[in-house]
Amino acid sequence: MLVAWNAMGRQKRVGWLILLISLGYALYFLKARLFGGADITRKEWLYFILTFVGMMLGTINIRMAEMRERNQRTLPIVDPNQTARK
């Protein structure tokens, strides 16, 4: 597991970390706060809503990293011997 984690790119690792932390907080909130019967403050509702924003950002980060890896594998159609225009 640790080998796969270190083999990933930084952007993908950060995306998975954001996603896992957000998912963990959402599960904690549902189990301990919502079904636990405790009073939920407005601040905790805000954190719960922001958890879904974190999940979306983490997913976007993972998908963007995969797109970047896929685009780096394709060869450019530009002639490598040609100089860049200024």
Q: Are 16 and 66 in contact (CB under 8 A)?
A: no
| Bigger pLDDT: 28 vs 73 | 28
**C-alpha separations of 80 from 75, 83, 84 in Å:** 11, 8, 10
Its pTM stands at: 0.74
| Bigger pLDDT: 25 vs 74 | 25
Q: How many CB atoms lie within 10 A of CB 29?
A: 18
Number of H helices, E strands in the chain: 3, 0
Q: Give the tens place of pLDDT for each residue, 26-59.
A: 999 999 888 887 788 999 999 999 999 999 999 9
**C-alpha separations of 46 from 3, 26, 59 in Å:** 36, 12, 20
Residues whose CB is less than 8 angstroms from the CB of residue 33 and which lie 6 or more positions away in sequence, other chains included: 40, 44
How confident is the model at residue 9, as a pLDDT?
A: 87
